[in-house]
Amino acid sequence: MKKLVILGSTGSIGTQALQIAAASEDLQVVGLAAGSSWEPAVEQARQHGAPVVALADAGAAERARSAWDGRVLGGEEGIRELIASAGADLVLNGMVGAAGLGPTVVALGEGIDVALANKESLVIGGELTMALAEAAGARLLPVDSEHSALFQLLGAEQPGTVERLVLTASGGPFRGRTDLEGVSVADALAHPTWRMGGRITIDSATLMNKGFEAIEAHHLFGVPHERIEVVVHPQSIVHSLVDLNDGATLAHLGYPDMRVPISYALHFPERADVDVPRLDLAAVGELTFERPDTETFACLRLAREAGEAGGTAPCVLNAADEVAVAAFLEGRIGFTAIAAAIERVLEGMPAQPVAHFEDLFAVDAEARRRTEEEVWGLTTV
Ligand code: MG
């Protein structure tokens, strides 16, 4: 029986992970963590028999305590305590944004494997996070669909046989367009194939999400940036590909459904039954591929440059993106201003080497402050 802690349990990934755990005889949920939505978190704990709930928002933790007899931990230190004290064999990190890095560090530091749905843990802190996992003997199991695909494809390969990783991108709602000046928030939120939260949906529309995924893949699989490619594939049936040294290319296919990669990460190295529709290629009919337009979708270029620069650059990239996307979602700046703001902030904060996680937290804060200033300058209303 694998003991599981789920961080971000009330989000989309967390909710699906909980359903998979409930249906599995091999997984036992020993703790849940959420931000401020204490009522759904307590309801989940009741329903799934989780003895501990941690809430990042201390006020929400207070209210949960008065409504539930189980153990409630509060604040960021509450989440750290949950990870360190719940006796977990595996922590699923489904938290959103830079806030997910700290909990990943705590889990790995305790030698606990992490099923990683929080991209920022690797985008911001990739070098340090991978070094920590290695030193602690803990494993990072990717939950992101593309990385789960690569992880499965690479599983049986000997070192030195991999020539290239190819990440597929749906292209988002604006694929094929070159005039994105006046697009609305509603247009940008209408993602063609995946249903996700606000920020990641905007990141998919700008292709920043794919840029983050390339950085994530670089760290997870130790492949240099120049050997990681992005190809636009609107049907989202091929989740990623691997080119090998003998000319073979391996691909991972399936309908887009996050339950498949979540189940794989939770049950690894086993596989469990997942009740999803089986791929019918004749019904799909056609799979198409095209090169990304990095001129219109400047975020993909910015992410590539930040990844190659390394050090603090991906941390700046992520912080600037979080602030710029929030400003777009609030209607304060236009869609194309997202990339413009990020580029200005990256230019003003050239890459520095990173020695400690604390360095990253300081850089993250500084990049957010600078992006707020850029956003003021770009405000349209
Ligand atoms: Mg993805």
Please say if the pLDDT value at position 381 is more than 60: no
Cβ atoms of residues 81 and 103 within 8 Å: no
Predicted local distance difference test score (pLDDT) of residue 158: 82
What does the mean pLDDT of the chain come to? 95
Predicted local distance difference test score (pLDDT) of residue 377: 87
Q: How far is the CA of 240 from the centre of ligand 1 (A)?
A: 10
Task: Please state whether 182 falls in left (phi above 0), alpha (psi between -120 and 50) or beta.
Answer: alpha
- Nearest CA-CA partner of 299 in 182, 152, 198, 174: 174
Predicted local distance difference test score (pLDDT) of residue 198: 84
Q: How far is the CA of 241 from the centre of ligand 1 (A)?
A: 14
Amino acid code (one letter) for 270 = E
Torsion of CA 265, 269, 270, 273, to 10 degrees: 20
Mean pLDDT of 53-82: 97
pLDDT interval class at 195 (50, 70, 90):
low
Please say if the pLDDT value at position 145 is more than 80: yes
Distance from the first to the final alpha carbon of the chain:
55
Q: How far is the CA of 119 from the centre of ligand 1 (A)?
A: 9
- Give backbone dihedrals phi and psi of 198, rounded to 5 degrees, phi first: -60, -55
Q: How far is the CA of 144 from the centre of ligand 1 (A)?
A: 5
Q: How far is the CA of 8 from the centre of ligand 1 (A)?
A: 17
- Nearest CA-CA partner of 356 in 188, 128, 56: 128
Please say if the pLDDT value at position 325 is more than 70: yes
Whole-model pTM: value is: 0.94
3-state secondary structure the chain: CEEEEEECCCCHHHHHHHHHHHCCCCEEEEEEEECCCHHHHHHHHHHHCCCEEEECCHHHHHHHHHHCCCEEEEHHHHHHHHHHHCCCCEEEECCCCHHHHHHHHHHHHCCCEEEECCCHHHHCCHHHHHHHHHHHCCCEEECCHHHHHHHHHHCCCCCCCEEEEEEEECCCCCCCCCCCCCCCHHHHHCCCCCCCCHHHHHHHHHCHHHHHHHHHHHHHHCCCHHHEEEEECCCCCEEEEEEECCCCEEEEECCCCCHHHHHHHHHCCCCCCCCCCCCCHHHHCCCCCECCCCCCCHHHHHHHHHHHHCCCHHHHHHHHHHHHHHHHHCCCCCCHHHHHHHHHHHHHCCCCCCCCHHHHHHHHHHHHHHHHHHHHHHCCC
State what percent of residues in the chain have pLDDT above 70.
98
Q: How far is the CA of 18 from the centre of ligand 1 (A)?
A: 20
Spatial distance between the Cα atoms of 121 and 30, rounded to a whole number of angstroms: 23
Q: Is the dihedral of CA 71, 77, 83, 87 positive or negative?
A: negative
Q: How far is the CA of 146 from the centre of ligand 1 (A)?
A: 5
- Exposed e or buried b per residue across 182-207, where buried means at least 16 C-beta atoms within 10 angstroms of its C-beta: ebeeeebbebeebebeebbbbbbbbb
Please say if the pLDDT value at position 272 is more than 70: yes
Question: Over the stretch 95-119, which tens digit does the pLDDT of each residue have?
Answer: 988 899 999 999 999 999 999 999 9
Owner of token pair 């994530």? 216
Question: Over the stretch 5-50, which tens digit does the pLDDT of each residue have?
Answer: 999 999 999 999 999 999 999 999 999 999 999 999 999 999 999 9
Mean pLDDT of 212-238: 97
> Domains along the chain?
2-142 (3.40.50.720), 147-257+278-378 (1.10.1740.10)
Mean pLDDT of 289-311: 97
Q: Residue 364 CA to chain centroid, in angstroms?
A: 17
Predicted local distance difference test score (pLDDT) of residue 200: 86
Mean pLDDT of 361-380: 93
State what percent of residues in the chain have pLDDT above 90.
92
Cβ atoms of residues 307 and 286 within 8 Å: no
- Nearest CA-CA partner of 130 in 322, 346, 310, 320: 310
Count CA atoms closer than 13 A to 274's CA, side-chain side. Answer: 24
Q: How far is the CA of 343 from the centre of ligand 1 (A)?
A: 23
Mean pLDDT of 338-349: 98
Please say if the pLDDT value at position 347 is more than 90: yes
Q: How far is the CA of 239 from the centre of ligand 1 (A)?
A: 8
Tokens, residue 322: 């979080």
Q: How far is the CA of 123 from the centre of ligand 1 (A)?
A: 13
Please say if the pLDDT value at position 156 is more than 90: no
Q: How far is the CA of 295 from the centre of ligand 1 (A)?
A: 21
